[in-house]
Amino acid sequence: MAERGRPKGASGEESRALLLEIAAKEFAQHGYHETKVSSIVKGASLSQPTFYLYFKNKEAIFEELENLFYLRLMEYAKKSRLQPQLESPTVKARIVHNLKELLTFFCKNPNLTRIGFYLSTKANDIKTQIVQQIKGNLDFEVSAGYFRKNLDTQMVAECLIGMIERLTFIQLLPKKKGPEEIANDIVDLLIEGMLDRENNRK
């Protein structure tokens, strides 16, 4: 009741959340500088001063979105780690599963992903962090004999991130492929390589 047009006395938290949402959309779409505070508030049907009621300034709301991306990502990662080997009988299946989880997260948070994984100046730090974690996993699997002993795991992790990033922005977010398909594609390629094992060795 009285929800008509959010007259004046909205919930406050609602306004804040709305601004965050619109801002995420705008930033993702136009980048930091091309996004004006005025367009954010217009999108939220609010006035400019209201913006400053909830955020110190334009930079602050961007940072909050960066952090939001990061926090949710961490949360997702943690959750993934809780229910691990259950449905993953093989190493490959486990890797696919993890990757699928990550991509699913991106898929569910397209704007945040564009912000935190592409626009943000901290994006590289985050990627580096992910790379290190992947490398850790790979090291373990190499030592367990699953992969070639001479594998440069750091390098593989870097490549993996590069692939993920590319496919995320080129296929996943535009909804051309789903998380599972992409995860399978990547892992298959990376594990099996391109060669035809049955026949030639060129």
Query: Locate tokens 């699928």: which residue?
Result: 100
Residues 21 and 102: their CA atoms lie apart, in Å, by: 21
Q: Which is nearer to a second copy, 77 or 91 (CB)?
A: 91
Structure tokens at 151: 């594998």
Which partner in DNA, a second copy, none is near 145 (CB below 5 to 8 A by kind)? a second copy
Name which of residues 42 to 101 contact a second copy (CB under 8 A): 90-92
Contact 115, 28 (CB under 8 A): yes
Name which of residues 53 to 72 contact DNA (CB under 7 A): 53, 56-59
Q: Which is nearer to DNA, 36 or 176 (CB)?
A: 36
Residues 185 and 182: their CA atoms lie apart, in Å, by: 5
Angle between helices 123-143 and 58-82 (to 10 degrees): 20
Q: Is 185 near a second copy (CB under 8 A)?
A: yes
Which partner in DNA, a second copy, none is near 143 (CB below 5 to 8 A by kind)? none
Q: Which is nearer to a second copy, 14 or 34 (CB)?
A: 34
Query: Locate tokens 């001479």: which residue?
Result: 150
Cβ neighbours around 22 below 10 Å, total: 21
Query: Locate tokens 């005025």: which residue?
Result: 38
Q: Which is nearer to a second copy, 4 or 200 (CB)?
A: 200
Q: Is 195 near a second copy (CB under 8 A)?
A: yes
Q: Which is nearer to DNA, 19 or 160 (CB)?
A: 19
Name the nearest CA neighbour of 104 among 186, 18, 178: 178
Q: Which run of H or E residues covers position 156?
A: helix 153-167
Q: Is 25 near DNA (CB under 7 A)?
A: no
68, 107, 151, 173: residue in contact with a second copy (rule CB under 8 A):
151
Binding interface with DNA (CB under 7 A): 2, 6-15, 35-38, 45-53, 56-59
